Structure formats: C-alpha cells, structure tokens
Structure 1
C-alpha cells in the first residue's frame, strides 16, 4: 500500500515538473515574440498583423484537427468561443497598448498578471494561495521593474491598455481551468476554435478601423518568415501547451512561470535587437528567476 502511494506521488510530481518545464518553454517563445512582432509592426497595422498571424495558424492546424472539429460537441464550441473572446481582447489590448506606451512600461505592467492571477483565482474559485506566495510575487514584480525601467515611469493611455491586458490574462488563466477542469475536451479542437475567433475578429477590425482589404497580401519576405514563426511557435505551440498543462497545475503557478517572459524578452532584445541592459536591469532579471522558483516551491507544497 505504501509503495502504491509512493508511486502515485512520484507520478503526480513528474506531471507537475513536465507542466512547469513546458510552461517555461512557452515563456521562452513568448519572450522572443516581442522583438519579432516589433519588427513586423514597424511596417503593418496591428489588426492586419494579428489577422495574418492567426489566419496562418488556423490554416496550418486545419488538416490535423478537421475530424476532431466535426466530432466536437456543442460544449467544446461554446467554451472555445468564450476563451477565444478572451484571447482576442488580450492581443488587442497588448498590441495597441505597446503602440501608445514604451516597451519598458509594457513589460512592467503586464507582469502584474502575477498578482492579478491569484487574486482572480481567489475571487472565482475561493482558493487562497497564502500570504508567503504574495511575497514571491512582490519580488517578481520588483525584479521586473528593475529589469524594464530605464529612466522614468509615466502612466498614460497605453499603460491603461496594458493593465487591461494583464487583467484579461489573469481572467483567461482562471476561467480556462474553471471551464475545462474535470471535463473531457479535445485540446486541438478547443485551441483551434479559440484561434479562429481571434483571426475572424482581427480581420473584421482590420477592415472596419484600419480601412484595409485582406486581399492585399504583404509582399515582404521578412514579414512572412517572422509571421510564420509567430504562428508556429508563439501561437500553436504556446497556446496548445498552455491549454493542456494548465489543467495539470494551478492558474497561479502558470502566472508565476509566465513571469519569466520578460527575462527571456530582455535576453532576445540584447542578442538580436542590440539593446543594452545595465547591472540594475540584470539584477531585476535574477530577482524574477529567484521569485519564480520560490513561488513554485510554495505552490508545490499546496498541491
């Protein structure tokens, strides 16, 4: 009996580690998306960019998920549409927020997801993560500030939009688990439906507000290479992995692991974008890493 219980605990622990490693990879590719998306957005409108990114994504996925889509029950479609609306709102707020504020402010404010996720989970699921966890989250936020702040910090419309995106991220993580835990969903169909909603709404916004036609295909080779990279790794892999592994851990753990995103973003900015980070910035990055593993340890004790 003791051996059986030990085997179950080992299996459970291996699932947790697999979830954590996968989510760190998601943070890695999302960190690379900042410099990639910024390059594309220098030449194209935000909603046009979002449309092509998600349109390419669903075209790539369609042959693999077509049968699952046809067999998907109504509950899968309803859940996918709801989560897709969350996803579209997040990308819209983030893209336009970055347009109106600095990258430093954006990275700092979006990290507030780390605080908002356990708060949202507390309100929705009545699940309090404990006060020590908030100390780890606070360290992560301080680290993000040291990593991203350069000269001054001012609050403008773009900052408010990024704050809205952080709130929506926290809500998405919490409601994804609430809507899917304990239920049998086909993850590929659920992911495809979400991404299709983003593509459709982005296309509609592009036509309505950016006064463009979707038939005017971009001619830049760089645009297509970068957008395909975003579609394959930062969209298909990232969102499918998050959909699968969020049910093997808690939304608060997901939010904390995603706190590594600005660290990876800074590394890619230095290596690829040629940006300079001071000792204060790198100290902030180390604070985030320390807070991530400290918070992981605290949450692991509660599972």
Structure 2
C-alpha cells in the first residue's frame, strides 16, 4: 500500500512539473529570445544526461539508439519550437490545455497499435475536444484566434506525429531510455546552437530568477520528469499511470492562475472543462479499444522530455 501511494505521488509530481513547465517557459521567454531558451534548456539537459549515462556505465550506444535518437531528436526539437513560441504568445493555462489534444490526436496517426479502426465514439470525443479548443481560443468572445493558440494547436499535431513515429521507430528494436534521451538532447543542442548564437550573450545578463527557470525546465521538466515517469509507470498499472499523468492540463491551469496571475473567462473556463472531459473520454475509449498495455497518453510521455 505504501509503495503504491509513493508511486502515485511520483506520477502526480511528474504531472505537476509538466503542467508548470508552460508558465516557466512563458516567463523564461519574457527575459530571453525563444531560441536561446531552447538552446539553454537542451544544453543543460544534455549535460545532465551525459553525467547520468557515465555514472551508470551506459556510455556505449547501439546503432539503433543513435539512429532512432537522432531522428527523434529532430522531431522533438520541432515540437518544442512550436510549444515555446506558442506559450510565449498565449497564456500558460491555454498552452497546457491545447497541447493535451495530443492524447486524442495520436491514435488517429498511430498505425502500430493495430486492432482495426477506432469506434465512432472516439471521434465524438475528438469533436468535443475541438469544440473546447474553439472556446479556449475565443477568450472573452469569438474572434480571430491568437497566434500563440494556433502554434500550440500545431504543436499538438506535430507532437502526436512524433509520438506515432516513436512507436514505429522503436518497434522491434532494443533501445534504452536514458541513452536514447541523451542522444535526443545532444541533437537538440546542436540544432539550436547556430540559430541561438546571436543571442547567447543575453545569458550573461539575465538574473538568478531567469537562470532558475532555465534550470527548472531542463533538470526538472525534462530530465527528472522523464526518469521519474519511467520508474513510476514500471511500478504502476498503465491505466492508473495514464489517469494520473493526464492531470497535467489541470496543473497547467492552476499554476497559470495561482502563480502567473492569469484569468479564465467564463467561455474559456467552459472550454477548459470540455477539453479535460474530452481528452479523458477519448483516452478511455482508445485504451479499451486497443487493449494495449501502455495507452497512448502514457506512451507519448515516455519517450522524451516533454512539457513546454
């Protein structure tokens, strides 16, 4: 009983950390250009991962780990570009809610799970989620959606494609989580080095608070959350892990409101409620239909550092 509670607590902590990552990323981009934030986050994560790999004597990478990690490093970087630019131009609460669309979009793109076409009820859940996003984007009234909301919507689509690619690229191959993540963070660091080069001097002028947010994004929202989530999922049922990790958008809203001073209008609050309901409903339908041991909502979190 104590072990189960400890595992549940770790899963909730991971969801909370990922939910808070949107506010952390938003405030970090207030002090630094987006590309500099991304490079710093990747570089700090890569250093931490390399230290862990060395400490655990996992320094010899297989060909599959290098190939798959390099490919996924590129697609993961694309996701984080969209997410970070998106959260810079919308609220942290909206960002965390909209990105949760990944849960219902991934099964539509994934062809590795099998078991035939998804039932009509799943598409009903997807429709509820799309209606919810429309309400979120409307804010205080219906108008042209904000650029940040559209970027987060694009990020959800790209992340869903990334998760589907993870399943396809790792199927039939033995890849270890930590080396795979290390390669992805190194690839991301290399990809963002040149685009961010002109703004790297800004890192020498930011205050301790800004550095703290960068370290939090790298070590807690990426490295810690990934490793803790992997451990917790191995010590819990897939359904329970999925349910607890699925609270991420709730934490995104709470941190945005309580710590970021953000506000949800009545229309946006209705959209938030519908989105959480729709994603949980769609996740439940997909899990039952596929009959897989790891639901897509969890699989999407298991392969790489996530959050904004």
TM-score, normalising length: structure 1: 0.75
* Deviation (angstroms), 1:83: 0.5
**1:81 maps onto 2:45 in alignment:** no
Q: Does the residue aligned with 1:71 lie in a helix, a strand or coil?
A: coil
Change (3 A) 1:22 1:299: farther
Give the conservation status (yes or no) of the 8 Å contact 1:104–1:150: no
Larger Rg: 1
Residue-by-residue CA offset, 1:236-291 (whole Å, 9 max, x unaligned): 13444677869x969xx97x987754432211111111222244443433333433
**1:57 maps onto 2:67 in alignment:** no
Question: Which of residues 32, 36, 40 is equivalent to 2:20?
Answer: 32
Q: Distance in 1 between matches of 2:45 and 2:66?
A: 18
**1:154 maps onto 2:144 in alignment:** yes
**1:120 maps onto 2:109 in alignment:** yes
Change (3 A) 1:242 1:122: farther
* Deviation (angstroms), 1:148: 5.6
Q: Does the residue aligned with 1:284 lie in a helix, a strand or coil?
A: helix
Q: Which residue of 2 aligns with 1:11?
A: none
Q: Distance in 2 between matches of 1:105 and 1:265?
A: 8
Q: Distance in 2 between matches of 1:242 and 1:168?
A: 22
RMSD over equivalenced CA pairs, Å: 3.6
Provide the aligned length of Structure 1 versus Structure 2: 279
Q: Which residue of 1 aligns with 2:303?
A: none
Give the conservation status (yes or no) of the 8 Å contact 1:203–1:214: no
Change (3 A) 1:296 1:90: closer
* Deviation (angstroms), 1:200: 1.8
Residue-by-residue CA offset, 1:26-74 (whole Å, 9 max, x unaligned): 4432221121111111111111111111211122222221255532211
Q: Which residue of 2 aligns with 1:290?
A: 277
Q: Please say which of residues 24-33 and 222-231 is displaced more in the overlay.
A: 24-33
**1:224 maps onto 2:211 in alignment:** yes
Give the conservation status (yes or no) of the 8 Å contact 1:27–1:264: yes
Change (3 A) 1:22 1:80: farther
Give the conservation status (yes or no) of the 8 Å contact 2:31–2:206: no
Q: Which residue of 2 aligns with 1:200?
A: 190
Q: Which residue of 2 aligns with 1:175?
A: 165
Give the conservation status (yes or no) of the 8 Å contact 1:144–1:284: yes
* Deviation (angstroms), 1:147: 4.8
* Deviation (angstroms), 1:143: 3.5
Question: Which of residues 41, 45, 54 is equivalent to 2:33?
Answer: 45
**1:191 maps onto 2:178 in alignment:** no
Give the conservation status (yes or no) of the 8 Å contact 1:50–1:202: yes
Unaligned residue ranges in structure 2 (runs of 5+): 292-308
Change (3 A) 1:148 1:90: same
Equivalent residues in 2 for 1:210-289, closer than 5 Å: 211-213=198-200, 217-240=204-227, 260-289=247-276
Q: Which residue of 2 aligns with 1:70?
A: 59
* Deviation (angstroms), 1:214: 5.8
Q: Distance in 2 between matches of 1:232 and 1:50?
A: 13
* Deviation (angstroms), 1:185: 1.5
TM-score, normalising length: structure 2: 0.74
